[in-house]
Amino acid sequence: MKYKVIKRGFPGVPGGGEQKYYASPVYSGETTIKELGDRLSAQSSMTKADAIAVITGLIGLIAFDLKDGKIVRLGDLGSFRISLSSNGEDTPELITSKSIKNSKILFRPAQDFQDSLVGLSFTKVKDITANPDEIASP
């Protein structure tokens, strides 16, 4: 896995506060559902169209169950759940649906899936799009 070095401050602090340097992943592209469908069909008896239909259908089912308040567990892959952020109030009675600021989907990988990253090696690269405040070396 390649990484670059970026300079960041702290969100919510005026002026960003003290700036520090952090490792940031360098992605080598994206994989689409179509590409996953191609690869899945090559490794199974499904056609490409069947594989894409299964993946697309799974996404819809996960979204439906999340909206229904369920945690969706996908075995060796991991689980999805909804997280909420809300305004803090002095008493429980003051919390209403209007207190909720936003929601997001959280994914937690299963332990075996997480363990697949054990032994991952890292290589520092220079980011050609880095601004002068970012430090990176080959």
pTM of full prediction above 0.75: no
Residue 80 has pLDDT above 80, yes or no: yes
The pLDDT score that the predictor gives to residue 63 is: 96
pLDDT band at 106 (very low <50, low <70, confident <90, very high): very high
The pLDDT score that the predictor gives to residue 18 is: 82
Structure tokens at 15: 């002026």
> What is the dihedral sign for C-alpha 130, 136, 137, 138?
negative
Q: Which of 86, 81, 55, 79 is nearest to 70 (CA)?
A: 81
Return mean pLDDT, the chain: 87
